[in-house]
Structure 1
Amino acid sequence: MFTSQTSSFQDSIDVEERDDFDSDDIAGYNQKTQLNCYYAIYLYQGTSLSLVDSSLPPEAEPELRCYISRRLSKGGPAGGHGVPEQNVGCYCCLLEQEHSPDQPDAEGNGYVICFMGGSEKGLNLYPCPILDKYVQGLQSCLQTPELTNLETEIRPYLSKWYEESVLHIHRVVQLVQSSISFLLHAALSHTHVEVKSDERTKKDIARFIKAASLQGLSQQEATTSLCKAMSEEPPADLVIDCSTTPPTLSNTVSNRFCDDWIQAFLNAAESCNPFLLRQILENFKLKAIQDMNSLKRFIRQAEMSHYALFRCCQFLQGCGNGDVLLQNAKAEHSDLPEACRIIAVLEEFLMEPSQAHT
């Protein structure tokens, strides 16, 4: 049932790759994407689930309930992603009710909240903490006796999960268009971004910068230096003034690496596919990590070989991201004199045909 009601991630890619659709097709696809995102909330008592509210078609809801029941009976986690059917992404979270020590029977009771949209692959691109945080915002609303605030607070809040938790990247790309490269460069180079706009746009851009940076991967050994690196002379803030249409950006800096990703972001935004946009953003970060690891390897080799130093120069010139990579490498190797000497030579090499541009 879910498969027929919800488009898969592959279907989204197929639509995105078409180059012959017109504005009506795009509008229709956008509407379909919106309609194929659902929520459901259940009261969980002991081992039973009771439906509180759902945006699912009535014939599809029992299937979701069976899926959740099986998951809970097997001791499934309170939060996480799952798939009721192969082509559907489903996030589930159990919010346990607060209870006093003299009410032991209340243990395990609470509300199960589910968000459905795209495919498992698409929804998995949004880390559980992002959706967990959104669900936590509902905690206070669920303390009302008999949920008399269902129509005034709970339902409106749940109905906005897709708009608030998924669409922010799409809104940012639509806002800045080809200037997205400046935001990507700011994210990688740890440049502060000042936004002159309403609170929602400020929040959207801040979340985009955080998603495009490598802070979320700081526990991985290969990315630690990228996340912690800071330049000796912090660059001027990137300023985005949204009082004009299109927005005016000041102190803009980009490079060839970031510029090369512009069209991919614009194509995905045009096709109204937020899951594909998130995938492109993850690919962007992965490529930055791979290039940083390559530079680290070349620097180690260059300490023992002039030819390796030449290869390192060629790599920096070809990757288009030399300014960012060297900034991070310099921070990581600050306590290694020989590596610092190599990096100084590389910096001089890059200063001649400067990679960064404004």
Structure 2
Amino acid sequence: MFTSQTSSFQDSIDVEEKDTDFDSEEIGGISQRIQQINCYYSIYFYQSTRSEAAEESVAWSQRRADSTTCHDDFSLTLLDSSLPPEAEPQLRCYISRRLSKGALLGGMGNIATVELSIPEQAVGCYCCLLEQESSPDQSEDGNGWVGDVISLTTHTFRLELDKYVQGLQGSLTPEMENLESDVRPYLSLWYEESVMHIHRVVQLVQANVCFLLHAALSHTPVVVNDADERTKTDVVRFIKAASLQGLVQEDTTTATLCKAMSDDAHTDLVIDCSTSPPTLSNAVSNQFCEDWIQAFLNAAERCNPFLLRQILENFKLKAIQDMNNLKRFIRQAEMSHYALFRCGQFLRGCGNGDVLLQNARAEHSGLTEACGIIRVLEEYLSEQAMAPAALH
């Protein structure tokens, strides 16, 4: 079962206009700031003063007394930061307040707007507490690290940031001997690796983004040839972000669709990056996916990855809304021929009939009457598609 609430299709696709009343000059200014955005990071050692391990690290903490904030039951020591000197203590103070209230849980990222002494002033700050791993014969001492990444906004990329920051855990030690070689280079790339992948894919395929959107909705496998590992990973992550997988309560629907698509290798969407621009084979799209092309291209031209992510989320929400409508029509069509007619008209008008029926067929596979209605609708759409060709 899918659940969502969205406005009309045009409201969904025009996300730039929905949330703001800026004129074109103001929008241009925002876009310029996005392109010139400064991205920061900080990492701290969190030390429980109630643990025995804390006593062993007193000397080390004293050496860094100027960058340590102490509370009754914990201390927070700066290990590294790209923030300006006047802004870092402000961030440390903010994190200490969150820790003292128990607002940071191990392994779960938290995003909030903070005000720091930096050009952007109010920014989105992602914080994640990484707890120190202990061996089975050691007791939990409550120590760990707090990783932070800061930019104009990070709110729409929390899952990516969770995964990225947690990738640090195996490299962290209290003394941070590998700061220069591993930790700092890794944190310095957080924005490129966790935020910019959607932008890179849209820049790569341009108007062909509609074929990737269709592949994501229809669970079509995507193969990338003659590309570097980063590009291949970007495409995989784009498809995953655009798909509805995980938004279905019954995993059998997704499993059935994925198995059906994987059984036929000829349906794979192949992206050949040996040419510029890349060439696509077995590319399939529909009117619904094509209607979103310009929104993606406009956001990519502004170099606005946050707007791109919001457009992608709106695309998925609209697809979910249409799937809910189709399921309601199918239930009604079991009792009314007029509802069956309305269902056919809806599928013609939404531009996404092939994908909706594919998902409906998988979800209703065990319901004889619903399957019969879906077959009738498939035949109807097929006849409608052939009618314009016959006229020519």
Indicate whether the TM-score tops 0.5: yes
Shift of the 302–181 alpha-carbon distance from structure 1 to 2, 3 Å rule, reads same
Which protein has the larger Cα radius of gyration, Structure 1 or Structure 2? 2
Match of 1:216, SS state, is coil
| Alignment partners' CA distance in 2, 1:17 and 1:244 | 39
Q: How many residues align?
A: 334
2:102 counterpart residue number: 75
Match of 1:133 among 127, 145, 163: 163
TM-score (norm 1): 0.85
2:202 counterpart residue number: 173
| Alignment partners' CA distance in 2, 1:345 and 1:289 | 22
1:188 counterpart residue number: 217
2:65 paired with 1:61:
no
Instruction: Using the aligned pairs only, state the percent identity.
Output: 67
User: Could you give the per-residue CA deviations for residues 116-156 of structure 1, whole angstroms, max 9, x where no partner exists?
Assistant: 1233xxx232243x22221222122214x721221121111
Match of 1:330 among 349, 352, 361: 361
Q: Which amino acid aligns with 1:321?
A: N
| Alignment partners' CA distance in 2, 1:178 and 1:349 | 30
Check the 8 A contact 1:41/1:51 in 2, yes or no.
yes
Match of 1:39 among 29, 38, 41: 41
Runs of 4+ in 1 over 3 A off after TM superposition: 13-22, 25-31, 99-104, 223-235
2:318 paired with 1:287:
yes
2:190 paired with 1:161:
yes
Task: Please report how far the alpha carbon of residue 10 of structure 1 lies from its aligned counterpart in structure 2 after TM superposition.
Answer: 9.0
Shift of the 314–183 alpha-carbon distance from structure 1 to 2, 3 Å rule, reads same
| Alignment partners' CA distance in 2, 1:332 and 1:17 | 45
1:108 counterpart residue number: 142
User: Could you give the per-residue CA deviations for residues 23-52 of structure 1, whole angstroms, max 9, x where no partner exists?
Assistant: xx899545412x1x2111001111111111
User: Could you give the per-residue CA deviations for residues 319-345 of structure 1, whole angstroms, max 9, x where no partner exists?
Assistant: 000000000101111111111111111
2:93 paired with 1:93:
no
Shift of the 140–116 alpha-carbon distance from structure 1 to 2, 3 Å rule, reads same
Q: Specify which structure has the bigger relative contact order, considering alpha-carbon pairs within 8 angstroms and separated by 6 or more residues.
A: 2
User: What are the equivalent positions in structure 2 for 1:347-358 lying under 5 Å apart?
Assistant: 347-354=378-385
| Alignment partners' CA distance in 2, 1:237 and 1:17 | 43
2:339 counterpart residue number: 308
Q: Which amino acid aligns with 2:177?
A: T
Q: Which amino acid aligns with 1:292?
A: M
Check the 8 A contact 2:35/2:302 in 1, yes or no.
no
User: Could you give the per-residue CA deviations for residues 42-68 of structure 1, whole angstroms, max 9, x where no partner exists?
Assistant: 011111111111111221112211111
Shift of the 127–352 alpha-carbon distance from structure 1 to 2, 3 Å rule, reads farther
| Alignment partners' CA distance in 1, 2:274 and 2:22 | 31
1:3 counterpart residue number: none
Task: Please report how far the alpha carbon of residue 226 of structure 1 lies from its aligned counterpart in structure 2 after TM superposition.
Answer: 5.7
Shift of the 69–21 alpha-carbon distance from structure 1 to 2, 3 Å rule, reads closer
TM-score (norm 2): 0.78
User: Could you give the per-residue CA deviations for residues 285-332 of structure 1, whole angstroms, max 9, x where no partner exists?
Assistant: 101111001000000001111110110011000000000000010111
1:201 counterpart residue number: 231
| Alignment partners' CA distance in 1, 2:318 and 2:233 | 26
| Alignment partners' CA distance in 1, 2:157 and 2:245 | 15
Check the 8 A contact 2:130/2:146 in 1, yes or no.
yes
Check the 8 A contact 2:16/2:307 in 1, yes or no.
no
Match of 1:206, SS state, is helix
Match of 2:319, SS state, is helix
2:24 counterpart residue number: 18
Check the 8 A contact 1:301/1:308 in 2, yes or no.
yes
Shift of the 243–101 alpha-carbon distance from structure 1 to 2, 3 Å rule, reads closer
User: What are the equivalent positions in structure 2 for 1:213-292 lying under 5 Å apart?
Assistant: 213-219=243-249, 225=253, 229-230=257-258, 231=260, 234=264, 236-292=267-323
Shift of the 247–100 alpha-carbon distance from structure 1 to 2, 3 Å rule, reads closer
Q: Which amino acid aligns with 2:151?
A: G
Task: Please report how far the alpha carbon of residue 214 of structure 1 lies from its aligned counterpart in structure 2 after TM superposition.
Answer: 0.9
Check the 8 A contact 1:195/1:242 in 2, yes or no.
yes
| Alignment partners' CA distance in 1, 2:314 and 2:322 | 12
| Structure 1 unaligned residues grouped into runs of 5+ | 1-8
| Alignment partners' CA distance in 2, 1:41 and 1:215 | 33
1:319 counterpart residue number: 350
